[in-house]
Structure 1
Amino acid sequence: MFSFCTDPATLETARWFACYLTTGKHLTAYWSFVTVLVLLAVTAPTALLFGFGGAVAARSGVAPVRWFGKGYIAIVRGVPDIAFFLFFVIALDQGFEWLRHQALCPEWTEPIRQGNDFVVCTEAKLPLGNAPQWVHELYGFALAVLTFAIVFGAFAANVLFGALRAVPKGQIEAAQSYGMSERQAFWRVLVPQMWVYALPGLSNLWMVLIKATPLLFLLGVEDIVYWARELGGIKTSRFTDYPHGDWRLWYFLALLVFYLGFTKLSEVVLGRLTVRLNRGQATLGDAA
């Protein structure tokens, strides 16, 4: 990046570090922080949407819908996260390709399952083999977001299901006595008051989601933990111009500071949101 970086062997300490920390690999690593933040920004509302749908389904009066909602919550919460992360990426990828295969290659006669191999026509591949690299990366990121949303949506569904049941029944009865229909009472009374009871659990879930972002590496996304390990290790062929010892301790220390700072910021924002939601509510939080 700097003009004096042409010969790293002649640089003193300050300039050496300036050149070392602005190599192409480091710039990619810095962008991985943005990747993590974008993942959280997209996954959180998506998981909340999955969770709300699961919670509403779990309290449905229609038995099959209720069984589906409760089954979704129980199954995902009962299996280790890492197993679901590894399973869903493969299942979603093959599921999308199977659907495209059925639509684009109806004349295909060979079996899709050939032993341990999953074989579809070239047109059905996701992404296509001739697609640019950014398409492959975007597709992998989209799969990661969807997987995170499905897994954490089940935990959010459990929180929201409990919050819906925590709203005093008298609130609904009062709404109906004023002539509201069941649907109106749900959206205008039950859902707005639900968030007061749901926020503590959702706050916990947000913190867990932040700590789960290193699982991106398992989903094929080069995240900040991946780059900390790669850049901090002893380099031989990839970084011959900037040889150094095992600096993983310092790279992981930087990640520790990043995560602690981000969780502290989250606590401040969530605390203010809690105070705002408690306004006008007869809760212990409001009394405090």
Structure 2
Amino acid sequence: MFSYCSDPDTLGTVRWFSCYLTNGVHWSFYLSFLKVLVLLAITAPVALSFGFGGAMAARSHIPPVSWLGKGYIAIVRGVPDIAFFLFFVIALDQGFEWIRHKVLCPGWTDPIRQGSDFIVCQQAKLPLGSAPEWAHETYGFFLAVITFSIVFGAFAANVLFGGMRAVPHAQLETAEAYGMNRRQTFWKILVPQMWVYALPGLSNLWMVLIKATPLLFLLGIEDIVYWARELGGTKTSRFTDYPHGDWRMWYFLVLLLFYLGMTRVSELGLEKLMRRLSHGQATSGGELLRKETTA
């Protein structure tokens, strides 16, 4: 990046580190932090949408819909996250390719399953073999977002379902007595009040989601864990212009500080949101706020 970086062997300590930390590989490391933040920004609302849909299905008065919602919550929550991530990404990828294969290659006669191999026509590959590198990375990131959303959506569904059941039933009966139909009662009475009961569980789920982002490494995505391991390992002059010993401890210390900072900022933001939602509510948090304002 700097003009004096052309000959690393002649550099002093400060200049050596300035060149080392600004080379092209390290910029990939820095961009991987942005990748984690983008994953959180996309996955959180999508997972919450899955959770809200699952909670609505679970409390449905139609038995098949209720079974579907409760089954989604029970099955996904009952499978270890790592096992689900490793299995579902492969299944989802093969599902997309199978659909494309049926549409784009109707004349294909060979079996798709050949032993342990899954073989489709070249046109059905996702992404295509001729696609640029960014297309492969974007597709892998897309699969990761869907997988994260389905997994954490099930946990969110369980939390929201509990939040809906925690709203005093007398308030729903009062709404019906005032002439509200079931839809109006749900959207104007139940949903606005359930958040104060669900937020503690959703807060914990958000923290777990932050801590789960290193699972991107297991999905083959070059995230911060991948680059910390690659850059921190011992390097000799045969493989790099900036040889060094085993620095993995320092790279993973950076990840530690990053995640601690993320969780601390989240705690402060969620605390403010909880105070705002508790205002005027007939809960212990709302009662505490009333005492503070009257004191």
Tell me the TM-score normalised to structure 1 length. Answer: 0.98
Question: Aligned partners of 1:236 and 1:117: how far apart in 2?
Answer: 39
Write the deviation string for residues 123-163 of structure 1: whole angstroms up to 9, x where unpaired. Answer: 11110111111111100000000000011111101101100
Question: Aligned partners of 2:207 and 2:264: how far apart in 1?
Answer: 10
Q: What does residue 24 of structure 1 align with?
A: 24
Q: What does residue 146 of structure 2 align with?
A: 146
Q: What does residue 187 of structure 2 align with?
A: 187
- Shift, 1:240, TM fit: 2.4
Question: Aligned partners of 1:239 and 1:209: how far apart in 2?
Answer: 36
**1:144 maps to amino acid:** A
Q: What does residue 234 of structure 2 align with?
A: 234
Question: Retained in 1: the 8 A contact 2:237–2:243?
Answer: no
Question: Aligned partners of 2:125 and 2:251: how far apart in 1?
Answer: 37
- Shift, 1:15, TM fit: 0.2
Write the deviation string for residues 44-99 of structure 1: whole angstroms up to 9, x where unpaired. Answer: 00100111111111111111111111111111111110000001100100011111
Q: What does residue 275 of structure 2 align with?
A: 275
- Shift, 1:43, TM fit: 0.3
Q: What does residue 79 of structure 1 align with?
A: 79
Unaligned runs of 5+ in 2: 289-295
- Shift, 1:19, TM fit: 0.2
- Shift, 1:238, TM fit: 7.1
**2:46 maps to amino acid:** T
Moved over 4 A (4+): none
Write the deviation string for residues 6-37 of structure 1: whole angstroms up to 9, x where unpaired. Answer: 00000000000000001111000000000000
Q: What does residue 207 of structure 1 align with?
A: 207
Question: Retained in 1: the 8 A contact 2:214–2:224?
Answer: yes
- Shift, 1:184, TM fit: 1.0
Q: Identity rate of aligned residues, in percent?
A: 75
Question: Aligned partners of 2:229 and 2:248: how far apart in 1?
Answer: 6
- Shift, 1:115, TM fit: 1.0
Q: Secondary structure at the match of 2:60?
A: coil
Tell me the TM-score normalised to structure 2 length. Answer: 0.96
- Shift, 1:239, TM fit: 4.4
Question: Aligned partners of 1:174 and 1:240: how far apart in 2?
Answer: 72
Question: Retained in 1: the 8 A contact 2:112–2:118?
Answer: yes
- Shift, 1:174, TM fit: 1.1
Unaligned runs of 5+ in 1: none
Q: What does residue 114 of structure 1 align with?
A: 114
Question: Aligned partners of 1:61 and 1:121: how far apart in 2?
Answer: 45
Q: Secondary structure at the match of 1:287?
A: helix
Write the deviation string for residues 100-124 of structure 1: whole angstroms up to 9, x where unpaired. Answer: 1111111111111111111111111
Q: What does residue 69 of structure 2 align with?
A: 69
